[in-house]
Amino acid sequence: MMSHRTLPSLVGLLVAVLVGSGLYWLAENVGLALATGIAWGGGFATVVYGERQYSAHYPGSEWSNKWSTLGTVLITIAATVGIGSSFPVSFELRLGLQFLVIGTGFVGSMVATVAELERNAA
């Protein structure tokens, strides 16, 4: 069985490589692909880590998650409306920027969730 640190790292690395390489293929921008891959990879690694370490307390789909849901909705609106079709860049770059904004919000939310769980467990 994998250690509690190996699986999240592997998942994060896999997601980072997939997202980063896919975005580079689409938008041909190394910095954007790298930053977006790292954001999404870090987010998924944090989800796996949190679920494995704090499965009994990890957020589910209860009403108490309304703040996480609100944050997700607002970040998605910022990405899709703020960087919408009127944004004066190519479709590929716009899509890459949208993935970056949503990925950054995702990793921020996941890190905050795990930080709060660790704080409560201490």
> Taking a C-beta distance cutoff of 8 angstroms, is the pair 8, 49 a contact?
yes
Q: Looking at residue 59, what is its pLDDT?
A: 61
Q: What is the mean pLDDT of residues 26-50?
A: 95
pLDDT at 21 over 90: yes
Rounded to whole angstroms, the Cα distance separating 63 from 57 reads 14
pLDDT at 64: 59
Give me the DSSP letters along 69-111. HHHHHHHHHIIIIITSTTSSS-HHHHHHHHHHHHHHHHHHHHH
Residue 105 pLDDT? 93
HSE (CB half, 13 Å, CA atoms) of 84?
7
> What confidence tens digit (pLDDT) does each residue in 44-89 have?
999 999 888 887 776 665 655 777 778 888 999 999 998 988 889 9
State what percent of residues in the chain have pLDDT above 90: 58
